[in-house]
C-alpha cells in the first residue's frame, strides 16, 4: 500500500532543504569572500611593506652619497696663499700666487668603505663593505685673478658586498663659481648649482631619484698661531629639491677642517661638520627637522703630483624630531685619488 505523505509535511521538508542549501551557499560565499579579503589584505600589506622597505633603501642610498660628499676626503692638498708679518722684513708671502687653473681636468677617487649601518636605521644595524668609484671631468672656460667658474660632470658607482639591492649609480652636472675676496685667497665665496639623478645599475633609464641642488658658502683659511697647522672654516647653506619630493630640504651648515703636514707630501687632518636639516615635504612629519653631526680624521700621502693615497674614518650621528629617522654610522675607508690636468 502506497504511503501518502501529507502535503504540509512534504512542503515543510522541501522548505527546510531549500533553506539549508541556501544557507550553505551563503556560508561558502562568505567564507570565500573572507578568504579573498584576507588574501587581499596580506597582499596589500606585503606591497606596503615592500614600498616602505624601498623608500628606506632610497633614503639610505641618498644619504650615504651625501655623507661621502660632505666627508673631507684625503686627496690633493694645495699650498695655502697666506702672508705672515715679520718685525724686520715686514709682510712675506709664504708661497707664490696660486697658478692659473688648468682648462681641463680628469680625476678619479676610488674608495673602499666599511659601514656599520648600511640602511641608516635607528635599530637593527647591519654592517657591510662597499666600493664607491667617482669619475670627474671638469672644464674651466676662463679665469681671472679672483674669479674661477668650473663646469664638472661626475659619475658615481656604489657596490655593496652583502646587500646588492643597495647598489646604485649616479651622475650629475655641476656649475661652480668661486670668487676670492682677497689677494692671498684665504677668504673666498663659493656658489654652485647641481642637477643629478640616482638610478639602478641594471638600467640607466630606471632613475629612482632626480634632484636639483643649490649651495652657497664663505670660507676662510688661516694658520693657527705660528704653527704649521691650518684651519679651514666654512659657513654655508644648501637647498635640495627632487623627485620624489619627500627628500626635499634646506641645510645650513658649518664645516671645520684642520690640516697639518708633519713631513713632506704627508698630510694629517681632522674635520667637523654640524648641519641642521629642515625637510620641506616629509610624508611622515611635515615639520621634520634633523641635526646631523659628522666628525672624522684622515691621512694622505702624495708620492707624485697627480696621485694620492689615503685613509679616512668618519662618524655620523643624526638626531631627528621624527624618531625613526634617527641613526648613527661609522665609516672608515681607504682612498686612492688620481688626476691629470692640462
How high is the pLDDT of residue 8?
45
Distance CA(331)–CA(67), nearest Å, equals 10
Give the homologous superfamily in CATH for domain 50-341: Autotransporter beta-domain (2.40.128.130)
Answer yes or no: are the C-beta atoms of 260 and 273 closer than 8 Å.
no
Phi, psi at residue 78, to the nearest 5°? -90, 145
What is the residue-level pLDDT of the chain in tens, covering all 342 positions? Answer: 444 444 444 443 444 444 444 445 445 555 445 454 554 433 334 333 445 566 778 999 999 999 898 887 776 554 444 444 455 555 544 444 567 889 999 999 999 999 999 999 999 999 999 999 999 999 999 999 899 999 999 999 999 999 999 999 999 999 999 999 998 889 999 999 999 999 998 876 679 999 999 999 999 999 998 888 999 999 999 999 999 999 999 999 999 999 999 998 999 999 999 999 999 999 989 999 999 999 999 999 999 989 999 999 999 999 999 888 999 999 999 999 999 999
Nearest to 239 by CA among 301, 184, 281: 281
How high is the pLDDT of residue 100?
80
Distance CA(281)–CA(192), nearest Å, equals 23
Q: Residue 320 corresponds to which cell in the numbers above?
A: 631627528
How high is the pLDDT of residue 173?
98
Query: Which residues are CB-contacts of 288 (< 8 A; sequence separation ≥ 6)?
Result: 279, 282, 320, 321, 322, 325
Q: Which residues pair with 328 in a beta bridge?
A: 317
How high is the pLDDT of residue 53?
63
Q: Residue 46 corresponds to which cell in the numbers above?
A: 606585503
How high is the pLDDT of residue 71?
83
How high is the pLDDT of residue 6?
45
Distance CA(171)–CA(135), nearest Å, equals 10
How high is the pLDDT of residue 56?
77
Nearest to 167 by CA among 214, 221, 208: 208
| Half-sphere exposure for 90 (CA within 13 Å, toward CB) | 0
Answer yes or no: are the C-beta atoms of 158 and 167 closer than 8 Å.
yes
Phi, psi at residue 248, to the nearest 5°? -65, 140
Residue 68 has a CB neighbour count (10 Å cut-off) of 20
Residue 8, H or E segment = helix 7-70
Answer yes or no: are the C-beta atoms of 57 and 119 closer than 8 Å.
yes
**Domain regions of the chain by residue span:** 50-341
Amino acid at each position: 500500500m502506497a504511503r501518502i505523505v501529507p502535503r504540509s509535511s512534504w512542503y515543510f521538508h522541501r522548505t527546510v532543504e531549500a533553506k539549508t542549501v541556501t544557507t550553505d551557499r551563503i556560508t561558502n560565499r562568505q567564507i570565500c569572500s573572507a578568504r579573498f579579503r584576507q588574501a587581499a589584505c596580506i597582499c596589500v600589506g606585503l606591497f606596503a611593506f615592500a614600498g616602505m622597505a624601498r623608500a628606506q633603501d632610497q633614503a639610505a642610498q641618498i644619504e650615504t652619497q651625501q655623507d661621502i660628499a660632505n666627508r673631507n676626503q684625503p686627496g690633493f692638498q694645495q699650498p695655502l696663499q697666506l702672508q705672515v708679518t715679520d718685525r724686520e722684513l715686514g709682510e712675506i708671502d709664504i708661497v707664490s700666487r696660486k697658478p692659473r687653473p688648468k682648462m681641463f681636468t680628469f680625476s678619479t677617487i676610488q674608495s673602499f668603505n666599511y659601514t656599520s649601518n648600511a640602511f641608516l636605521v635607528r635599530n637593527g644595524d647591519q654592517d657591510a663593505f662597499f666600493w664607491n668609484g667617482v669619475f670627474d671631468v671638469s672644464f674651466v672656460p676662463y679665469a681671472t685673478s679672483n674669479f674661477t667658474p668650473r663646469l664638472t660632470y661626475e659619475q658615481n658607482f656604489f657596490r655593496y658586498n652583502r646587500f646588492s639591492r643597495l647598489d646604485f649609480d649616479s651622475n650629475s652636472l655641476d656649475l661652480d663659481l668661486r670668487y676670492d675676496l682677497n689677494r692671498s685667497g684665504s677668504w673666498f665665496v663659493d656658489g654652485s648649482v647641481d642637477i643629478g639623478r640616482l638610478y639602478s645599475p641594471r638600467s640607466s633609464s630606471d632613475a629612482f631619484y632626480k634632484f636639483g641642488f643649490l649651495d652657497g658658502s664663505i670660507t676662510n683659511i688661516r694658520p693657527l698661531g705660528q704653527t704649521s697647522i691650518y684651519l679651514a672654516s666654512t659657513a654655508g647653506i644648501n637647498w635640495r629639491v627632487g623627485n620624489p619630493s619627500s627628500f626635499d630640504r634646506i641645510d645650513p651648515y658649518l664645516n671645520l677642517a684642520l690640516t697639518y703636514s708633519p713631513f713632506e707630501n704627508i698630510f694629517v687632518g681632522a674635520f667637523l661638520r654640524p648641519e641642521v636639516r629642515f625637510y620641506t615635504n616629509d610624508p611622515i612629519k611635515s615639520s621634520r627637522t634633523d641635526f646631523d653631526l659628522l666628525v672624522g680624521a684622515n691621512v694622505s700621502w702624495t708620492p707624485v703630483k697627480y696621485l694620492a693615497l689615503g685613509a679616512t674614518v668618519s662618524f655620523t650621528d643624526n638626531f631627528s624630531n621624527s624618531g625613526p629617522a634617527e641613526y648613527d654610522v661609522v665609516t672608515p675607508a681607504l682612498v686612492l685619488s688620481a688626476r691629470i690636468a692640462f
